[in-house]
């Protein structure tokens, strides 16, 4: 349907094409699966806004991660349109007077996108946040340059943190979580997003680790633990830890971080690897300073990504998503 629209020589996608692309793109990752994005299609352009009703004031008081999540949605959206035959030209933060207006996308037909892009859109459906212990990623040295490059293309620096700093990072992670353990507003917010069983949002128990599993992952956000028997019996986590950092802070950098995060996650998933974004260690200034001190230059660490291998496939049900009609408004007549 959608590719037909592009092949038919139309200059802009029709509503069916927009809906089809967003069906794919809405699998984008977001903080606590809050899906804080709103899209408006005016018949010519698609406008991406952040949704003030989907903020997490305790984990994300300045809205940094909300914009990062929307950046991931922007990259997923561009990937899905490209795979369906539409090149997108993006203006980021088009109206400084409206900071929630994050991007405007204009379209050009791209009837024959490369197979690599079509494949990326298929990978969107396979990616998920894996919170279990992982084996070290196979062939990592060969993959790292490509993964670094997709982040760099979004003006974001990727550092593959050496094994020698794992203990310091684990200590910073522990400390960050210890500081939050008795922070009731933070804990209530976390429990709301992980325990209210809404079929369209939040993190379901099936996506969480049991206490025994979580205990073997030293760098992790502490979620309520899931019941169930222990999966993956390896003694410890051997995931690589990647830091995604920007040259400065602010919405433009956060949006690009989200785009880079999406690109990195898809690149790794395409290579058969498991991934999990982590931000609890960039939420508190003290922990964020620890990571910053491990990086060259004066970078602002935004997200850490665990990348590894699942020893055997252990399929988990996909996390839920809001229906298209809740995230897309059509303003064409
Ligand atoms: C900005 C951002 C921050 C995140 N922080 C964490 C985190 O600290 N710990 C974690 O386990 N997952 C984290 N995630 C992953 C989300 O929880 C996950 O994307 C969401 O629940 C949807 O599930 P899925 O990724 O499996 O599709 C984060 C994702 C984003 C985009």
Answer yes or no: pTM beyond 0.85.
Answer: yes
Backbone angles phi, psi at 99, to 5 degrees: -65, -20
Which of 27, 30, 304 to probe ligand 1 with, by most ligand atoms within 8 A of CB? 30
Residue nearest atom 19 in ligand 1 by C-alpha distance: 29
Report how far ligand 1's centroid is from the alpha carbon of 9 (Å).
Answer: 38
| pLDDT of the residue at 333 | 63
Report how far ligand 1's centroid is from the alpha carbon of 297 (Å).
Answer: 27
| Residues in contact with 43: Cβ distance below 8 Å, sequence separation at least 6, in sequence order | 12, 331, 332, 333
Report how far ligand 1's centroid is from the alpha carbon of 263 (Å).
Answer: 15
| pLDDT of the residue at 24 | 98
Residue nearest atom 4 in ligand 1 by C-alpha distance: 31
Exposed e or buried b per residue across 74-88, where buried means at least 16 C-beta atoms within 10 angstroms of its C-beta: bbbbbbbbbbbbbeb
Per-residue model confidence as pLDDT tens for the chain (333 residues): 456 676 666 789 999 999 999 999 999 999 999 999 999 999 999 999 999 999 999 999 999 999 999 999 999 999 999 999 999 999 999 999 999 999 999 999 998 999 999 999 999 999 999 999 999 999 999 999 999 999 999 999 999 999 999 999 999 999 999 999 999 999 999 999 998 777 899 999 999 999 999 999 999 999 999 888 888 888 789 999 999 999 999 999 999 999 999 999 999 999 999 999 999 999 999 999 999 999 988 999 999 999 999 988 777 899 999 999 999 999 976
Q: Which residues, judged by CB distance below 6 Å to any ligand atom, belong to the binding site of ligand 1?
A: 29-33, 65, 68-69, 72, 128-129, 131, 203, 207, 221, 276-280, 319
Residue 110 gets the label, from left (phi > 0), alpha (psi -120 to 50) or beta, of beta
Query: Does residue 141 contact residue 46 with C-beta atoms inside 8 Å?
Result: no
């Amino acid at each position: 349907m959608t590719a037909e629209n592009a092949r038919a020589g139309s200059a802009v996608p029709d509503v069916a094409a927009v809906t089809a692309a967003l069906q794919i793109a809405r699998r984008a990752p977001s903080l606590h699966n809050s899906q804080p994005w709103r899209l408006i299609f005016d018949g010519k352009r698609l406008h991406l806004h952040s949704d003030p009703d989907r903020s997490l004031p305790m984990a994300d008081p300045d809205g940094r991660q909300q914009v990062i999540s929307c950046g991931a949605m922007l990259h997923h959206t561009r990937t899905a349109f490209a795979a369906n035959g539409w090149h997108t030209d993006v203006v980021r933060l088009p109206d400084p007077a409206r900071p929630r207006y994050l991007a405007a996308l204009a379209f050009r037909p791209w009837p024959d996108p490369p197979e690599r892009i079509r494949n990326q859109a298929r990978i969107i459906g396979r990616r998920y946040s894996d919170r279990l212990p992982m084996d070290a990623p196979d062939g990592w040295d060969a993959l790292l340059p490509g993964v670094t490059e997709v982040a760099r293309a979004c003006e974001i620096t990727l550092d593959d943190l050496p094994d020698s700093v794992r203990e310091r990072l684990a200590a910073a992670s522990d400390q960050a979580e210890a500081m939050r353990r008795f922070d009731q507003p933070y804990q209530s917010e976390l429990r709301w997003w992980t325990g209210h069983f809404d079929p369209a949002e939040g993190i379901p128990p099936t996506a969480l680790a049991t206490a025994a599993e979580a205990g073997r992952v030293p760098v992790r956000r502490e979620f309520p633990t899931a019941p169930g028997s222990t999966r993956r019996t390896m003694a410890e986590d051997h995931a690589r830890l990647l830091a995604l950092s920007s040259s400065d802070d602010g919405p433009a950098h956060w949006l690009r971080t989200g785009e880079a995060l999406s690109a990195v996650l898809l690149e790794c998933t395409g290579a058969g690897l498991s991934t999990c974004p982590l931000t609890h260690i960039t939420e508190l200034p003290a922990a964020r300073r620890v990571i910053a001190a491990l990086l060259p230059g004066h970078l602002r660490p935004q997200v850490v990504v665990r990348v590894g291998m699942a020893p055997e496939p252990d399929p988990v049900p996909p996390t839920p998503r809001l229906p298209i009609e809740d995230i897309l408004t059509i303003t064409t007549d």
